[in-house]
Structure 1
């Protein structure tokens, strides 16, 4: 049985890690080029034109102070309430504010004063640039381990995104628990972060620069699965993964044979139960991905094609904002008609990276930057 997500999120007090991270992102880093690894640099994957345009509309100073990994853009955003954990200078918030539209809203929370100052400076600029009559973006100072103490309401967000930030927290479980609390039922945590091949040594975890570079606080990927279950989320669905490289020799000597990936996962706040495998048919109703909807690294739904999904995916699709975009059928027999059967889920991001490397260039999975918004949030 899942623990009360609020039980571990009371009387929060920041510690030395937060002080070090604030200093690194507020004073040490002045631009993206100051980073010493590619852990916090977006991978070079094709970005759809509508997202490229949305990013181009963001003020250059906001973009220059952006340090995220990956591009975190889930599907069905129009009219949604979105929360960005560790929003930094606000680049993703301003990009997403265009996709949710005037009826939606994007809230960014960050603990670093210098980053928030940049983000808030350009609210009016972006609303005028986007042609909105009133702001649909706001920024809150606070800790991602303590969202409710920062004034965010429980059960108030359709989607939470996070871009290379959870690893900067010394208490990952608390972050997940708080995210679970402020999400609406059926809501989604869709986030990119850094994961290690095994649990890190104390030397690595205590290294200030490695923390700032998103490596010293990286979770062992298997611990994400455990923590998500303890908090109450559905099992994490791996969307995509990319190898992280460290060019700095001194840092590489400390890291030794530890390996790291930047991976995007989706976690849903849906009721638990004895979910059954089903056949689903994608109706082609999500704007921008009418022909082909990439859900994760295992499931890509083509319009009008019958696909057998496991019980976890069936439950997610039936309980989330995607329910109206699919037609659901009982699975016909042990493997369904025509030999259809659910796919085994791959959750190891290092295995996915290895598979993609074997497949060669152009084999990157879809996911975080492959889709467009649609009117799915009510």
Structure 2
């Protein structure tokens, strides 16, 4: 019951991007549900998915956390949530090594991740595209001087300098990862873009600030974790000793860890919703309904907000730009009607 982080913006075709955000079997139902609940109108979705399972005796998700805020809507069956705060990460016996816990609670395992889950290199590429679009719009209006023009060109120069702080390998100029203003591949001008970018790298003094990194060697196979870093080694039997959900036995260390952590338990019935912020640990035990063999839940995954104002949950317009591109693609594909999104 985990949320997979979508691929880097622009790293897939538009069709794959839609599939990342709306994985099967959800697409045929998009006309019947809101893409964004009205009470979370300023948050940006990472993914929507539909979970369907069969567990008359109960099935455990395992103790873990996700990287996005989650609005969990139970349609059928019953779900028992056992929840722990990110502040208790030190007690969770994780497979991964925590780098830091952000102010908004996001648990970070990599150095190059913002508190809203965005990769700075991706944001830098978007900032250049966004600034360039503003300059192009002014030129189309015949504006090539004045305060507005000066601000727009200065912003573009600043964005390009910031982008150069990242290795050329991460930018993939002229390759399949080109990121256009819509957040999708657009290779019509690859050759021209590659030449321009290459000249810019050679001529800019900023390019000398960071040397091209050596190619990293993959870690040995036996050093790779068997589970995602956000999963705990603590078995469900340690959380629910009376349940027969797993053969794994709880050891003394796990019992001691759980005794030090503060837990909250709640049960969802059909029609109930639970809002679970990013990186809150949870184990979910799912049960099929009394009159059905399945349990069904709809999940709205939202990029974790970092701001304190409802109207401005993110530090910039990056996630909003990516989502608006997805919305356009969804409408163009016919999955939803214009105005429904």
The TM-score, its normalising length taken from structure 1, stands at 0.25
With CA pairs under 8 Å and 6+ residues apart, which has the higher RCO, 1 or 2?
2
The TM-score, its normalising length taken from structure 2, stands at 0.27
Structure number with greater Rg is 2
